[in-house]
Structure 1
């Protein structure tokens, strides 16, 4: 039988698969001109369990039971009514040993969020590509600046020197929009790394290099939408592949309608089915073909690139029943795999609703199966409290106390992702006018509060940016990531004195954090703030850490008798940043707008 005719197959997705998966069912998309007119069999096998055709004759979806396949190569036989046909080969690869039980990131880790296009240009030969529309233009604030995977690999030593254990890159898959394609959230091919970032093989190499340093890699995964330039939306398998309205309809962003028992159907529908922005069509995850496609794509990347976790963009913009099934499908394959969802809500009850086994969601018989959520309530507080010099009932450092007082709402508070800033917010150094004292207080809290701390690239050298001036201002190029940069902050000898002060502090803090199990998984006891001073303890059976945050501009003397239930028989405390010792039987002096972290001895 001829194999030449199979050139009419333009795409196969997934491009290959893996044997020995928990779910033996695999749905393969074959795309080519009028391909659905063919009858499909597998030579010497009855592994095909379903063949699905849609209104578009260029697609055919073939489901097989991989347990019935005993070879590494499958021969799919395509035959037309006129007896002509061809054979299409398909590969089943062997899984990596212990792949299913891989360890993911947790609260013993600290995460470094970077935007690849703005971090470092390691390969000048991939700045443009003939098959992508937007071209390199570093002079354009919102343009492609040329950062890539090679730039990340070349600067892994820098990230590791910060004490960071995990890297989260914003999306690296192809985004072929005509403008603003650098951020990657309007993807045009979810099985292909954007050629301006590198290749699929480069991404696998990045993961290997990270793992060689005993670090972890988190992929930024998007379930809710693709970009208008996605190849499948130019020739869609079915009209209901995406949500469509008579006229363009944007989401109302009111995700509270999902759990609101009083919400109208139309408001809930527009929230879930409206488009995020005009360039990002909303995927219809309730379509079984879309659902399977997204499940398999996510699992393929985990297996192929040996990933350690997902950050899931706009998680609760997708229909809750199906996004929870998507999450469970991944967890069934990888029981220890951590997924953190972007739940951009400030109400802690609504945030808790979206964490796995939430007692609040249980009231409505809902379980997201999502192991972690981003703590936007804490983030908002960290972006304001250090400018509030006067402590009152709900101002100043009391904001943080009040947030932690609601930790009972969460089924796993240690698995919250905590952060002061990210690629969608103002930078802390802008908010605090590059007052390094306030930066230090925020970082000390991120390093010692419950949860998984996330840092945003460049803030550790004093980078600032105001979202009100546009996204480009909070997503500036890292100095030294380009060959002719005047300042190179990647190297200690070429950092400015200001950059050095920020970096050295951050590095010492997060290197220390790696060593202390009490701040990873320990319990918390905190005390009502007085005079804008907040004291809390992180502890387990072997270690106790005492944290003092003086948000008052004035120096304070902190009497210790009030904290006897946590100090117990400890006599001294060693401050982890200065190596000074404090007598716990005496008042502890603390400078205005500063923090102390004491390991009790």
Structure 2
């Protein structure tokens, strides 16, 4: 072989590899031994004629079943199957066109963890979720505050729409604090790459489904956070967005087919009227507007009826659990998804990870509307398989009016009683996630007009009621803010940045009220960690009397009585009327201040207080 021939072969090999480097595969790798072993790989190249080629492989255990081109010549859909014999390694996908072959490497990896043990463990009433926005919690690594090549280069803490520099390193640094509050699970707003020109602080306009945002620490930083959580026995909740994406997403900017998005002649937003999905009198136009309308202009709506789109999203959902050790998934804007797709995606995740928890964001005002989107006892044509939802109706129609209104036959505390009574609609109401506020809602302290007593009652309810409690960062130190504009409910956590005048992590600079609130959360959080009654116990409530609402959490071995007095006057607990749950006990201990009371004597709860009493 001549030197000229060798050089020609080397050049040919170089150009093949170089060409392969311009090919992106979604999902970018997979694992041997998965239940999900029939995949739609989406291959994208910068070559406009790429779609005219064929794809084959000789890798043992991997078969190419079908290759489908799109009208956009830069894409191919490659259906592959992985049988039980497949071993980890680099699958060589051979793309051939006009006699030219290009090798695309697609790794098949070995599974590292054990689902249900090392990840995908799920969450339950034994957990307390702490929700934070990573950009607004703490800056642990200033070197990634700005990342070259990304659109949004803002870094101005005075501008609540700019980036502020919070990251995974900052979260890791303060996991001790989360545990002091009693938190066992961490939920962050989406951490996938959001390479948009502005408003990237919230994370909901995803531009790359297989990259964690570099400004938080990237894929490796996310793994370090996961490892730090697992080392403490804590869990990781992913915020997943299936309904829409960002306008700067690579696929949105270069669609394989126009029908990958729900297209309209002009921008058309969703009606946000969920009633159209179950209303027996609803029009087809209303249903379409609800599901196919875009959330906002910057967030194009996926057409989940397209099987390639549905598979792209579902495979990505599974990939994230396996890749990053996710234990639970919060499903953003759940009611705007195509419901048939949502059921199929849920089923795929639960088939792969039977112990994982899924709970959807269904921000509605009424209990039947909310229950429709989860497993329920309602006789409707569509039956949801979603195990749980964020319980907004317990907030909107329960705890908020219970504390904001004067008690009456139809007002005040009776609303919370009614909200809990509506649990008959759900198959598993104990899986619902209860909350007081989040990044889309006014801070609860603001809704309570800065009333500390009401804030304390609300948090006492949150940490003792049925369901899985979710706290929003900073509310435990009375952070305030309304949603007009929404940046006011997404301010920086005090102490997360060097030089902050107030530090909630150490207590430096906190007012007496802020410290008192934080101390209450810590005491209740610590108690519920060791209380089987509050974690997984049954729930029994009594009809409110004169503004006094009493409920019990109990197991065979522990009974906890919770008494909320929403009036300004003191109220006496009628122990005799509660004998169904108090019988056999002679004393009660206040779990917050340690005081003990005899059940043979009247127990009086002061006005605007809620007591948590363990019976003895």
Where does residue 384 of structure 1 map in the other structure? 401
SS at 1:27 equivalent: strand
Are residues 1:11 and 2:27 paired? no
Moved over 6 A (4+): none
SS, match of residue 246 in structure 1: coil
| 1:445-460 equivalent positions in 2, closer than 5 A | 445-460=461-476
Kept in 2: contact 1:2–1:85 (CA 8 A): no
Structure 2 equivalent of residue 294 of structure 1: 313
The reply to whether residue 104 of structure 1 matches residue 135 of structure 2 is no
Q: Within the alignment, does 1:275 sit opposite 2:291 as a pair?
A: no
Structure 1 equivalent of residue 323 of structure 2: 304
TM-superposed deviation, 1:94: 0.8
CA deviations 1:103-128 (Å, max 9, x no partner) are: 21111111001011110111111111
State how far apart, in whole Å, the 1-side matches of 2:557 and 2:393 are.
31
Could you tell me which residue of structure 2 aligns to residue 524 of structure 1?
Answer: 539
How far did residue 438 of structure 1 move? Answer: 1.0
1:365 CA displacement: 4.0
> Alignment partner of 1:557: what SS?
strand
Deviations 1:73-110 (A, max 9, x none): 211112111x1212222111111242266421111111
Q: Deviation of residue 300 (structure 1)?
A: 0.7
Find the partner of 1:23 among 25, 30, 36: 36
The Cα of 1:319 is off from its aligned counterpart by: 1.1
Which region of structure 1 is more displaced relative to structure 2, 221-230 or 175-184?
A: 175-184
1:262 matched residue in structure 2: 281
Give yes or no for the alignment of 1:186 onto 2:205. Answer: yes
The separation in 2 between residues aligned to 1:227 and 1:409, in whole angstroms, is 35
Asked whether the 8 Å contact 1:75–1:88 carries over to 2, the reply is yes
User: For the Cα contact (< 8 Å) 1:2–1:87, is it kept in 2?
Assistant: no
1:420 aligns with 2:436: yes
> Counterpart of 2:458 in 1: which secondary structure?
helix
User: Please, what TM-score do these two structures have when normalized by structure 1?
Assistant: 0.96
More moved, 151-160 vs 91-100: 91-100
User: Which residue does 1:55 correspond to in 2?
Assistant: 71
> Equivalences for 1:112-511 in 2 at 5 Å?
112-135=130-153, 136-356=155-375, 358-360=376-378, 363-380=379-396, 381-388=398-405, 390-468=406-484, 470-493=485-508, 495-511=510-526
- Work out which of the residue numbers 58, 69, 88 in structure 1 matches 2:104: 88
Deviations 1:389-418 (A, max 9, x none): x31112111110111111111100100110
What is the root-mean-square deviation of aligned Cα atoms in Å? Answer: 1.5
Cross-structure match for 2:91: 74
- Deviations along 1:249-296, one digit per CA (max 9) or x if unpaired, are 111001111111210000100100010111111000110000010011
Distance 2:336 2:471 in 1: 25
Kept in 2: contact 1:138–1:145 (CA 8 A): yes
What secondary structure sits across from 1:260 in the alignment?
A: coil
Deviation at 1:3, TM superposition (A): 5.4
Contact 1:2-1:86 within 8 A present in 2 as well: no
Relative to 1, partners in 2 of residues 1:167 and 1:71: Cα closer, same or farther, differing over 3 Å? closer
Distance 1:482 1:522 in 2: 40
Contact kept? 1:100, 1:333, Cα under 8 Å: no
Distance 1:134 1:564, change over 3 A: same
1:327 touches 1:368 (CA, 8 Å); kept in 2? no
Q: Which runs of 5+ in 1 are unaligned?
A: none
Q: Secondary structure at the match of 2:358?
A: strand
Q: Is the 8 A contact 2:502 2:508 kept in 1?
A: no
Partners of 1:565 and 1:393 lie apart in 2 by 25
**Conserved in 1, the CA contact under 8 Å of 2:57 and 2:64?**
yes
How many residue pairs get aligned? The number is 595
* Cα distance change on mapping 1:514 and 1:534 into 2, 3 Å: same
SS at match of 1:383: helix
CA distance in 2, matches of 1:422, 1:71: 42
Name the counterpart of 1:592.
607
- Tell me, in whole angstroms, the C-alpha distance in 2 between the residues paired with 1:497 and 1:123: 31
Shift of 1:43: 2.4
Whole-Å separation in 2 of the counterparts to 1:587 and 1:580: 14
Measured after TM superposition, the shift of residue 489 of structure 1 is 1.4
User: Structure 2, unaligned stretches of length 5 or more?
Assistant: 1-11
- Deviation track 1:300-341 (CA, whole Å, cap 9, x = no partner) reads 110010110100000110111111111111111001110110
Distance 1:593 1:87, change over 3 A: same
Deviation for aligned residue 1:522: 2.0
* Deviation of 1:49 (Å): 1.2
Q: Within 2, Cα distance between the matches of 1:531 and 1:595?
A: 14
Task: Give the Cα separation in 1 of the matches to 2:192 and 2:113.
Answer: 26
Distance 2:17 2:157 in 1: 42
**Bigger Cα displacement from structure 2, 138-147 vs 220-229:** 138-147
Q: Within 2, Cα distance between the matches of 1:131 and 1:368?
A: 42
The structural deviation recorded for 1:355 is 1.5
